[in-house]
Homo-oligomer: A and B are copies of this chain.
């Protein structure tokens, strides 16, 4: 949407809220009719749930399903919860099998069988196939409605097949090529089919196929699809037989979802299930309170460390002045390393096997950063306070930076090796951990040098 369209959505949301309050539904219909599907999606995302359901009911049916498909799964499920059963069944029947499964994952368990029962025999079977794969796998996200061809078919035969499936196939632009036992032996693009002579055999024009098994994570399959710039990635079962395709637009949705999750965890927040304004205040609070409590409990470690050194602090209060600076710098260094390595892992530039290589590099980086900051910070402190305090600050900066970069760098690797989302060892988590250890290092160095 351009700026003008967005301004229209904001105006529209301000116009219709009083109309809904007055129950003037005819005026609401008039107000929303000129809006595009994209604008309507954005409008619903800005409204509280109850108003959202009312507006949704007032949309014309063909437009409503487009809008529904564009909503986030969390919002879809909330919306479904406030519609009547017949309305829900009708939406459900209009969705593609893969979108249906995505939604089922979000719905209360009791509702799913009832909805599935309302489908036609064929739709129910397609949906059940997709439901058979584990949660989070690409099997759940692929479309079972593909068009394939065979090695020994001609171009003309294949084009005939394409024509017969124009209405229902997820894509007709990339066709997996199968042998007699349904193994994928290649792919052929519609472009190449149009380029070829009609009597040519598919085996003569097909390209090498990149495939993924249905049990791979949806994220890694999606990353493969977009990295290679494929319009559709064939998905196979354990016996390498074709079971579906992942199209690039679905791959993009999967990655966006993952990146929103990663970004949230990295900042110590649980990912929101709905857009910002559509999320009730109490959900915003609950998305943050758990992490905040965990981190606060972790931070009581720093209180304990400091109380061990309370006598030292009473003797030389000036040491307390540098505590926020030192632990802040440690936290920042750790965050930098964690951010770089987490992103490199997500992009596949770094693999769990590289643990020792990453450890060595990050220790080297931390040592360099620590030397630079240590010399600078130590000298300035020596000038303002006294040389011995300067030496303490300089050495602490060196030690804390080396340690923080190493810990920050390997933490995401360890998480990945344990098959945990690397973003779970989020930046705030690393900060808290580095805070406590940094304080111990600081007071040990101070005691040694100041001989107390």
Chain A residues in the interface with B (C-beta under 8 A)? 1-2, 6-7, 10, 38, 42, 45, 70, 162-163, 166-167, 172-173, 190-191, 194-195, 210, 212, 216, 224, 226-229, 231, 248-249, 252-253, 255-256, 259-260, 262-264, 266-269, 272, 275-277, 281-282, 284-285, 287-289, 291-293, 295-296, 299-300, 302-303, 306-307, 310, 313-314, 317-318, 320-325, 327-329, 331-333, 335-336, 338-344, 347-351, 353-354, 357-358, 361, 364-365, 368-369, 372-373, 376-377, 427-428, 431-432, 435, 439
Contact = CB atoms under 8 A, between A and B. Distances in A.
Contacts of A318: 310
A10 B276 contact: no
A396 to B, nearest CB: 13
A378 to B, nearest CB: 12
A268 B267 CA distance: 13
Given A226-B252, A320-B323, A431-B328, A293 B263 contact: no
Nearest to A265: B339
A285 to B, nearest CB: 5
Contact of A288 (B210, B248, B310, B333): B333
Given A260-B347, A284-B365, 15 more contacts: A1-B348, A173-B190, A229-B252, A248-B248, A248-B252, A263-B339, A264-B339, A267-B336, A268-B336, A272-B340, A288-B333, A292-B333, A306-B324, A310-B317, A313-B317
8 contacts: A10-B351, A252-B252, A264-B340, A267-B335, A299-B324, A299-B328, A299-B329, A328-B431
B325 A302 contact: yes
B338 A267 contact: yes
Nearest to A306: B321
A321 B303 contact: yes
A287 B341 CA distance: 13
A320 B328 contact: no
A322 B163 CA distance: 72
